[in-house]
Amino acid sequence: MTKDVGLSIPGRLGLTSEDKETLYRFLRNEIGREGIRALVIIWFDEGRTEAEIGNLLYISSRNVRRWIRRYREAGILGLHDGERTGRPRKADEKVEIAVEDAMKKNPEEVGYKSGFWVSNLLCIHLFAIFGLLLSDNTVRRVLHRMDYVFRRPKLWSGPGGEKPPEIEKAIEEVKKRKRSSFIRMKQASTSYQY
Protein backbone atom coordinates (compact mmCIF):
# COMPACT_ATOMS: atom_id res chain seq x y z
CA MET A 1 0.00 0.00 0.00
CA THR A 2 1.46 3.36 -1.05
CA LYS A 3 1.05 6.59 0.79
CA ASP A 4 0.54 9.78 -1.23
CA VAL A 5 1.91 12.73 0.67
CA GLY A 6 0.26 15.41 -1.49
CA LEU A 7 -3.51 15.68 -1.73
CA SER A 8 -5.16 15.99 -5.11
CA ILE A 9 -5.87 19.70 -4.76
CA PRO A 10 -5.41 22.13 -7.65
CA GLY A 11 -3.16 25.12 -7.02
CA ARG A 12 -1.03 23.49 -4.31
CA LEU A 13 2.01 25.57 -5.20
CA GLY A 14 0.01 28.75 -5.73
CA LEU A 15 1.35 29.35 -9.24
CA THR A 16 0.17 32.53 -10.91
CA SER A 17 -0.59 32.67 -14.62
CA GLU A 18 2.80 34.38 -15.15
CA ASP A 19 4.52 31.55 -13.24
CA LYS A 20 2.77 28.95 -15.41
CA GLU A 21 3.70 30.83 -18.58
CA THR A 22 7.34 30.94 -17.41
CA LEU A 23 7.26 27.19 -16.71
CA TYR A 24 5.73 26.43 -20.12
CA ARG A 25 8.42 28.58 -21.79
CA PHE A 26 11.05 26.73 -19.74
CA LEU A 27 9.51 23.43 -20.86
CA ARG A 28 9.72 24.45 -24.54
CA ASN A 29 13.23 25.89 -24.38
CA GLU A 30 15.10 23.44 -22.17
CA ILE A 31 16.31 20.12 -23.47
CA GLY A 32 15.66 16.75 -21.86
CA ARG A 33 15.28 16.31 -18.16
CA GLU A 34 15.33 19.99 -17.25
CA GLY A 35 12.21 20.58 -19.33
CA ILE A 36 10.55 17.53 -17.77
CA ARG A 37 11.08 19.09 -14.33
CA ALA A 38 8.92 22.06 -15.34
CA LEU A 39 6.20 19.59 -16.34
CA VAL A 40 6.45 18.00 -12.89
CA ILE A 41 5.77 21.39 -11.27
CA ILE A 42 2.88 22.22 -13.61
CA TRP A 43 1.17 18.87 -13.09
CA PHE A 44 1.68 18.98 -9.33
CA ASP A 45 0.11 22.42 -9.18
CA GLU A 46 -2.81 21.18 -11.32
CA GLY A 47 -3.59 18.54 -8.69
CA ARG A 48 -1.88 15.34 -9.79
CA THR A 49 -0.26 13.27 -7.08
CA GLU A 50 3.46 12.59 -6.90
CA ALA A 51 2.89 8.91 -7.69
CA GLU A 52 0.80 9.77 -10.79
CA ILE A 53 3.45 12.16 -12.08
CA GLY A 54 6.19 9.61 -11.45
CA ASN A 55 4.25 6.91 -13.32
CA LEU A 56 3.52 9.20 -16.28
CA LEU A 57 7.15 10.32 -16.63
CA TYR A 58 8.78 7.00 -15.66
CA ILE A 59 10.62 8.55 -12.73
CA SER A 60 10.42 7.78 -9.02
CA SER A 61 8.08 9.71 -6.75
CA ARG A 62 11.19 10.53 -4.70
CA ASN A 63 12.56 12.49 -7.69
CA VAL A 64 9.18 14.19 -8.10
CA ARG A 65 9.32 15.31 -4.45
CA ARG A 66 12.93 16.49 -4.92
CA TRP A 67 12.02 18.74 -7.87
CA ILE A 68 8.98 20.13 -6.08
CA ARG A 69 11.14 20.92 -3.03
CA ARG A 70 13.82 22.54 -5.18
CA TYR A 71 11.19 24.64 -6.98
CA ARG A 72 9.77 25.80 -3.65
CA GLU A 73 13.26 26.73 -2.41
CA ALA A 74 14.80 28.35 -5.50
CA GLY A 75 12.01 28.86 -8.02
CA ILE A 76 12.67 28.18 -11.69
CA LEU A 77 16.44 28.28 -11.11
CA GLY A 78 16.10 25.18 -8.89
CA LEU A 79 15.07 23.13 -11.93
CA HIS A 80 18.45 23.51 -13.63
CA ASP A 81 21.20 20.92 -13.18
CA GLY A 82 23.70 21.80 -10.49
CA GLU A 83 27.43 22.02 -11.00
CA ARG A 84 29.26 18.70 -11.08
CA THR A 85 32.88 18.25 -10.19
CA GLY A 86 33.77 15.37 -12.47
CA ARG A 87 37.08 13.59 -12.67
CA PRO A 88 40.17 15.76 -12.25
CA ARG A 89 42.32 16.22 -15.34
CA LYS A 90 45.35 14.01 -15.77
CA ALA A 91 47.04 16.71 -17.79
CA ASP A 92 47.40 19.57 -15.32
CA GLU A 93 49.48 22.77 -15.53
CA LYS A 94 52.81 21.01 -15.13
CA VAL A 95 52.02 18.79 -18.12
CA GLU A 96 51.00 21.84 -20.16
CA ILE A 97 54.29 23.55 -19.25
CA ALA A 98 56.24 20.44 -20.29
CA VAL A 99 54.35 20.28 -23.61
CA GLU A 100 55.01 23.98 -24.17
CA ASP A 101 58.73 23.48 -23.52
CA ALA A 102 58.84 20.43 -25.80
CA MET A 103 57.07 22.24 -28.63
CA LYS A 104 59.70 25.00 -28.52
CA LYS A 105 62.40 22.42 -29.31
CA ASN A 106 62.95 20.07 -32.19
CA PRO A 107 62.49 16.40 -31.16
CA GLU A 108 66.03 15.69 -32.37
CA GLU A 109 67.34 18.17 -29.78
CA VAL A 110 65.65 16.14 -27.04
CA GLY A 111 67.04 12.86 -28.36
CA TYR A 112 64.30 11.47 -30.62
CA LYS A 113 64.84 10.44 -34.23
CA SER A 114 62.07 12.56 -35.66
CA GLY A 115 62.04 15.90 -37.39
CA PHE A 116 58.73 17.02 -35.93
CA TRP A 117 56.42 16.33 -32.98
CA VAL A 118 53.44 14.01 -33.29
CA SER A 119 51.02 13.17 -30.50
CA ASN A 120 52.46 9.65 -30.01
CA LEU A 121 55.94 11.05 -29.57
CA LEU A 122 54.67 13.66 -27.11
CA CYS A 123 52.98 10.86 -25.11
CA ILE A 124 56.29 8.99 -24.92
CA HIS A 125 58.14 12.18 -23.99
CA LEU A 126 55.68 12.99 -21.18
CA PHE A 127 55.90 9.41 -19.91
CA ALA A 128 59.69 9.71 -19.82
CA ILE A 129 59.48 12.99 -17.87
CA PHE A 130 56.60 12.34 -15.44
CA GLY A 131 55.96 8.61 -15.64
CA LEU A 132 52.41 9.62 -16.56
CA LEU A 133 50.75 7.56 -19.27
CA LEU A 134 48.54 9.84 -21.36
CA SER A 135 46.50 8.94 -24.41
CA ASP A 136 46.87 10.59 -27.80
CA ASN A 137 43.48 12.25 -27.33
CA THR A 138 44.53 13.77 -24.00
CA VAL A 139 47.68 15.20 -25.56
CA ARG A 140 45.65 16.55 -28.48
CA ARG A 141 43.25 18.26 -26.04
CA VAL A 142 46.21 19.85 -24.24
CA LEU A 143 47.59 21.09 -27.57
CA HIS A 144 44.17 22.40 -28.55
CA ARG A 145 43.85 24.32 -25.26
CA MET A 146 47.26 25.83 -26.01
CA ASP A 147 46.07 26.85 -29.52
CA TYR A 148 48.34 24.44 -31.38
CA VAL A 149 47.05 22.92 -34.60
CA PHE A 150 48.33 19.55 -35.80
CA ARG A 151 48.95 19.32 -39.51
CA ARG A 152 50.91 16.85 -41.53
CA PRO A 153 54.30 18.26 -42.48
CA LYS A 154 54.83 19.09 -46.11
CA LEU A 155 57.87 17.62 -47.81
CA TRP A 156 58.28 20.71 -49.96
CA SER A 157 57.07 24.24 -49.89
CA GLY A 158 58.22 26.64 -52.51
CA PRO A 159 57.02 30.24 -52.55
CA GLY A 160 54.31 29.40 -55.09
CA GLY A 161 53.73 25.85 -53.86
CA GLU A 162 55.95 24.39 -56.60
CA LYS A 163 58.02 21.29 -56.03
CA PRO A 164 61.81 21.42 -56.27
CA PRO A 165 63.25 19.50 -59.26
CA GLU A 166 64.79 16.81 -57.01
CA ILE A 167 61.36 16.04 -55.54
CA GLU A 168 59.74 15.94 -59.01
CA LYS A 169 62.42 13.51 -60.21
CA ALA A 170 62.00 11.26 -57.13
CA ILE A 171 58.21 11.19 -57.52
CA GLU A 172 58.47 10.25 -61.20
CA GLU A 173 60.92 7.47 -60.33
CA VAL A 174 58.53 6.06 -57.72
CA LYS A 175 55.65 6.20 -60.20
CA LYS A 176 57.71 4.31 -62.81
CA ARG A 177 58.64 1.63 -60.30
CA LYS A 178 55.04 1.19 -59.22
CA ARG A 179 53.86 0.86 -62.83
CA SER A 180 56.56 -1.63 -63.79
CA SER A 181 56.10 -3.76 -60.67
CA PHE A 182 52.34 -3.79 -61.23
CA ILE A 183 52.86 -4.99 -64.81
CA ARG A 184 55.27 -7.72 -63.68
CA MET A 185 52.88 -8.90 -60.97
CA LYS A 186 49.99 -8.93 -63.41
CA GLN A 187 51.94 -11.02 -65.95
CA ALA A 188 53.14 -13.45 -63.30
CA SER A 189 49.69 -14.04 -61.94
CA THR A 190 48.18 -14.75 -65.38
CA SER A 191 50.91 -17.19 -66.47
CA TYR A 192 50.12 -19.69 -63.76
CA GLN A 193 47.00 -21.75 -63.94
CA TYR A 194 45.76 -23.55 -60.88
Please classify residue 64 by burial: count the beta carbons closer than 10 Å to its beta carbon, then call 0-12 exposed, 13-18 middle and 19+ buried.
Answer: buried
The C-alpha atoms of residue 41 and residue 65 are separated, in whole angstroms, by 10
Report residue 26's pLDDT band, with 50, 70 and 90 as the boundaries: very high
DSSP annotation string for 147-160: T----PPPS---TT
Specify which of 87-91, 141-145, 164-168 reaches the highest per-range mean pLDDT. 141-145
pLDDT digits (tens, 9 = 90+) for 55-86: 999 999 999 999 999 999 999 999 988 887 88
Dihedral angle sign, alpha carbons of residues 135, 140, 143, 149: positive
Mean pLDDT of 105-118: 85
Mean pLDDT of 47-56: 94
**Cβ atoms of residues 40 and 53 within 8 Å:** yes
Torsion-angle region of 152 (φ positive above 0: left; ψ -120 to 50: alpha; else: beta): beta
Whether the predicted pLDDT of 30 surpasses 80: yes
